[in-house]
Chain A
Amino acid sequence: MSYAATHDHHDDHHGAPKGFFQRWCMSTNHKDIGTLYLVFALTMFFIGGSFAMLIRAELFKPGMQLMQPYFFNQLTTMHALVMIFGAIMPAFVGLGNWMIPLMVGAPDMALPRMNNLSFWILPFAFLLMLSTLFMPGGGPAGGWTLYPPLSLQSDSLAYVVFAVHLMGISSIMGAINIIATILNMRAPGMELLKMPVFVWSWLITAFLLIAVMPVLAGAVTMLLTDKYFGTNFFNPGGGGDPVLYQHIFWFFGHPEVYIMILPAFGIISEIVPTFARKPIFGYKAMVFAIASIAFLSFIVWAHHMFAVGLPLGAEIFFMYATMLIAVPTGVKVFNWVATIWGSSMTFETPMLFAIAFIILFTIGGFSGLMLALVPADFQYHDTYFVVAHFHYVLVTGALFAIIAASYYWLPKWTGNMYSEFWGKVHFWNSVIWVNVLFFPQHFLGLAGMPRRIPDYNVAFANFNMISSIGGFLFGATQLIFIGVLIHCAFFSKKKATDRVWEGARGLEWTVPSPAPHHTFEVPPVIHDDELAHGHVND
C-alpha cells in the first residue's frame, strides 16, 4: 500500500512556520523535534560535563580540596543521571527522529504530536531534578542507582523519583513512536531486511526501552512509598530486602546499558561502509547480532551485584551469561574490521571517530569481560577499574558515535560543510585526552582505589593528577566541537551536495541538503542498488 502525505489545511505546506513558539513548541515535524532533542542533549552534555570537571578538580590532589564530601556525592550522582538520561539517550532519540523517517522514506514520525510531547517532557524533568541542587538538603547523593537505604535518607528523593517517572514516560512514548514509524511508515519496497543497520538498531533499542523503563518506574515507586508511605519493600525488619531493589533496578539497568550502545553500533555501521566505499560485511549477521545482544541483556543483570552476596548458582549463571555477550559483540567488531579490510578508505572526521570507536569501545568491552569473572570482580567491584570500564564504553563508545553521527549528518541537516580542519583538531584532541583521562583509572582501580570517594591514599596521587589533566583538556576540547557546530550551521560558506559523501548510500542522501522541512510526501521509489545494504545477497 502506498500513501502520499497531506497535511491539515492550516498547516504550511512548503516550509517551516514563521513564529518561534509555533515552530519549536507546537511542532509536529520530525526534523525540528530532532533538532530540539540534539540541542537539549548538547546542553545537558555540558552541564553533566561541568559536574565531571568539578569531580576531577577535587580529585586532582589527595586530601580534601574544594568541597564538602556530601556535595561531591551529589556531583557523582548528578553527573551520571544527567549524562545518561539527559545527554546520551536524548542525543540518540534526536538522531533517530531526524534520520529514521529519512532512511525509510517516511513523511514523518508515525505519531507526530506524541513525538513533540516526548521531547517537551524532558526539559521539565531535568528542571525538577536539577532544582534539588539549590534546595535545602541538596540533591540526591546516593549514586545514580539510588540504592536504598542510602537514597531514602535524602529529601530530594521525591523530586528525583518524579523526574525519573517523567523521563520514563518520555522514553516510552518516544520508543513507541519509533517502532510504529519503522513498522508502519516504510516506503513501499523498503523491506525489513533492506533497512539501514541504524534503523534496525533503533527498532531493537525501542523494544528494550518499552520493556524496561516501566520496570525502573516500578522500582523508584517502591522507593517513594518506602520513604513517604511506610511500606517495607526494602526493609528486612518488615520482611523486605534492600537487595530486591538492586535486582529490579538492574533488570532495568542492564538493558539500559545496551539502549545507550545499540544505536551507536547502528551509527558506526552506517559510517564505516560510507568511507570504506564498500557495503557492510555481513549485513544480516549485524542485525542478528544486535538482536542477540538485546535478548542477552535481559538475563545478565546480576553481574552488577556479584559482591552483594548472591547464592553461588546465581553467580555462576550470570557470569557465563555475561561472557556470552562477547560472541555477538565480537561478530560486530569483526564485521566492521572486515568492511574496512581491502577498502579504499578516506579519513574524514566522522570516519576518524568511527575508527576510534571500534578500537576504544573494544578496550571497554575487554575490561567488561574481566569484570564478568566473578572471582576477579570481587577485587574490581566498586573500584576505579569499573569507572574506567564504563567510561570507555560510554564516552569513547556511545559519545564518540554520537559525535561521529553529528559530523556525518551535519551537512545534510544544515546544508553546509563543517570545517574539516577543526573537526580533525577536535578529533585528535578528544582521542588523546580521553585516553589520558580514563586509561590511568584502570591502574587506579586495580590498585584498589574505590569509586565515589572525594579523598584517597597518597599512593594514588600521580595517576589521579594525570587523569584530571586529561579530564580538563578533554572537557576544553569539546568547546571546539561547539565552535565547529556553530560555524557549520551559521557561517560556513561551503555548500554541501545532496550526497555529501562520495560513498554514501541510502535514501537520506537522495533528498536535498539541507533537507527540506517536509520530505517524502510522496513515497520514494526504492532502487535496491542505491540502498546502503539493499544489494547484499547473503
Chain B
Amino acid sequence: MGQQHDAYFVPAKSYWPIVAAVVMFTTVFGAAHWLNAEPGDAGFGKTVLIVGVVGVLGMFFGWFRSVINESLSGSYNHQVDVSFRMGMMWFIFSEVMFFGAFFGALFYIRMFSVPWLGGTGHGTLTHQFLWSDYAAAWGANGGNGPERVGGSFSTVPAWGLPLLNTLILLSSSVTVTIAHHALRAGHRGKILVFLGLTVLLGALFLNFQAHEYVEAYKELNLTLHSGVYGSTFFLLTGFHGLHVTLGTIMLAVIWLRVLKGHFNKDHHFGFEAVAWYWHFVDVVWLGLFMFVYIL
C-alpha cells in the first residue's frame, strides 16, 4: 500500500450505521408512544425515548471517534476530502430547504390566510359567515386568529434582546472567521482564543434566547398556543435555537480537537464544515430577525 496517499479509501466494514438505525428507531418509537400515552401514564414511551436519545448520543460519539481516528491515521486523501465537503454542502442545502418550509408557512399566513380571514380578497365568505368581527392583523392585535386562541398576548420587541442576539451571532461569525484565518496561518493560540470566543458567544445567544422564552411565557402570555403567531414564532425560533445548540456543541468539539492538535493548515475539513454550519445558522437568524421580529 505504498500509494496509500493517492488511493481512494474504501472504508472498512462498520457496525455504526446499523447501530445508528437501531437507536434512531428506538428514539422515535419511544417518542411516538409517549405522545400517545394517557395522561399520567407516560412511563413506557418516555423510558424508551430516553434510552434512544442516549443511544443516539453514544452513536455519534463512537462513529465520529472512529472517523477522527481514520483521519488522523492519514487514510483520507484529497478525493475523500472533496466527498466530505460535498456531503456537508448538500446537507446544509437540505437544512435551508427545511427552514424554507417554515418561512414559507410564515409568509403564506401573513400574506394570504390572515388577510383572507379578515375578509379581504379571496375567501370573503369565511369572514362573512364565521368571523365577521375579525379584523386581520399580525402581531398582538390578531396574530392568534379570529378565535383569539391562547388569549391576548404581547410580542417580543425586536430592539431589545433580539437585537443583542443578532449582534452576538454576527460577531461570532467574525470570530470564527478569524480563527479560520489563524488556522491557515498556523497560529494555534489565536485559534483557541477566537474559537473559544465563538463557543462562548453561541452559549450567550442560547442563554438570552432562553430568557426570552421565559419572559414570553411568564410576562407576555406569548406561548406556543397563541394562535398561528405563537406557532410560527416558537417553531421558527425554536428550530433555529436547536441548530445553534448543535452548532455550539460542534464548535466546542472542534475547540477540543484543536487543543489536541488534530488540524493543520492543509487538513482541517472538520473545522471548515462546522464553520460553514455556523454561518448557515447565522444567515437563518438574520431572516428570523427580519421577518419574525422586525416586520
Physical interaction between A and B: yes
Residues of A within 8 A of B (CB): 1, 3-11, 17, 22, 25-28, 107-108, 110-114, 116-117, 120-121, 123-125, 127-128, 155, 158-159, 162-163, 165-166, 169, 172, 175-177, 179-180, 183-185, 210-215, 217-219, 221-222, 224-226, 228-233, 235-241, 243-244, 247-248, 251, 309-311, 518
A1 contacts B145, C-beta separation under 8 Å: no
Contact with A along B123-151 (1 / 0, CB 8 A): 10010001000000000001111110110
Chain B residues closer than 8 Å to A26, beta-carbon distance = 13-15, 17-18
B104 contacts A117, C-beta separation under 8 Å: no
A162 contacts B28, C-beta separation under 8 Å: yes
A120 contacts B17, C-beta separation under 8 Å: yes
B31 contacts A162, C-beta separation under 8 Å: yes
Q: Given A184-B83, A218-B101, A228-B35, check contact A112 B11 (CB 8 Å).
A: yes
Contact with A along B88-127 (1 / 0, CB 8 A): 0011011101111110110011001110110001110010
A184 contacts B97, C-beta separation under 8 Å: no
Q: 11 A-B residue contacts at CB 8 Å?
A: A25-B18, A107-B10, A166-B28, A184-B83, A213-B94, A217-B98, A218-B101, A225-B224, A231-B228, A238-B149, A239-B117
A214 contacts B95, C-beta separation under 8 Å: yes
A172 contacts B235, C-beta separation under 8 Å: no
Chain A residues closer than 8 Å to B143, beta-carbon distance = 239
Chain B residues closer than 8 Å to A233, beta-carbon distance = 105, 109, 228, 231-232
A8 contacts B10, C-beta separation under 8 Å: yes
B1 at the interface (CB under 8 A from A): yes
Q: B147's closest neighbor in chain A, by CB? A: A237
Inter-chain contact total with CB atoms closer than 8 Å:
263
Q: Given A179-B86, A239-B117, A244-B113, check contact A166 B94 (CB 8 Å).
A: no
A236 contacts B235, C-beta separation under 8 Å: no
Chain A residues closer than 8 Å to B230, beta-carbon distance = 231-232
Interface pick from B73-81, B162-170, B180-188, B285-293 = B73-81
B8 contacts A210, C-beta separation under 8 Å: no
Q: Given A159-B32, A213-B94, A238-B144, check contact A6 B114 (CB 8 Å).
A: no
B87 at the interface (CB under 8 A from A): yes
Q: Given A8-B10, A110-B86, A218-B101, check contact A210 B94 (CB 8 Å).
A: yes
A166 contacts B145, C-beta separation under 8 Å: no
A232 contacts B8, C-beta separation under 8 Å: no
B65 at the interface (CB under 8 A from A): no
- Across the interface, A236 reaches (CB within 8 A) one of B28, B83, B126, B231, namely B126
Given contacts A224-B35, A231-B224, 5 further A-B contacts (CB under 8 A): A6-B4, A175-B90, A180-B87, A240-B113, A309-B123
Chain B residues closer than 8 Å to A1, beta-carbon distance = 78-79
- Across the interface, B13 reaches (CB within 8 A) one of A3, A22, A239, namely A22
Q: Given A8-B10, A111-B83, A113-B16, check contact A248 B21 (CB 8 Å).
A: no
Chain A residues closer than 8 Å to B126, beta-carbon distance = 236
B114 contacts A239, C-beta separation under 8 Å: yes
| A5 to B11 Cα, complex, angstroms | 10
- Across the interface, B142 reaches (CB within 8 A) one of A162, A184, A239, namely A239
B10 contacts A311, C-beta separation under 8 Å: no
| A217 to B100 Cα, complex, angstroms | 11
A180 contacts B83, C-beta separation under 8 Å: yes
| A226 to B105 Cα, complex, angstroms | 13
A3 contacts B113, C-beta separation under 8 Å: no
Chain A residues closer than 8 Å to B95, beta-carbon distance = 214
Chain B residues closer than 8 Å to A217, beta-carbon distance = 98, 101
- Expressed in whole angstroms, the minimum distance between the Cβ of B48 and any Cβ of chain A is 12
Chain A residues closer than 8 Å to B121, beta-carbon distance = 311
Q: A218's closest neighbor in chain B, by CB? A: B101
Q: A26's closest neighbor in chain B, by CB? A: B13
B25 at the interface (CB under 8 A from A): yes
- Expressed in whole angstroms, the minimum distance between the Cβ of B65 and any Cβ of chain A is 14
| A85 to B100 Cα, complex, angstroms | 23
- Across the interface, A218 reaches (CB within 8 A) one of B29, B83, B98, namely B98
- Expressed in whole angstroms, the minimum distance between the Cβ of B128 and any Cβ of chain A is 14
B20 at the interface (CB under 8 A from A): yes
| A26 to B4 Cα, complex, angstroms | 23
| A110 to B83 Cα, complex, angstroms | 6
| A248 to B113 Cα, complex, angstroms | 14
| A415 to B193 Cα, complex, angstroms | 60
| A121 to B19 Cα, complex, angstroms | 10
| A241 to B83 Cα, complex, angstroms | 42
| A210 to B89 Cα, complex, angstroms | 11
B117 contacts A225, C-beta separation under 8 Å: no
| A215 to B102 Cα, complex, angstroms | 8
B51 at the interface (CB under 8 A from A): no
Q: A182's closest neighbor in chain B, by CB? A: B86
A238 contacts B10, C-beta separation under 8 Å: no
Chain B residues closer than 8 Å to A236, beta-carbon distance = 113, 117, 126, 130, 145-146
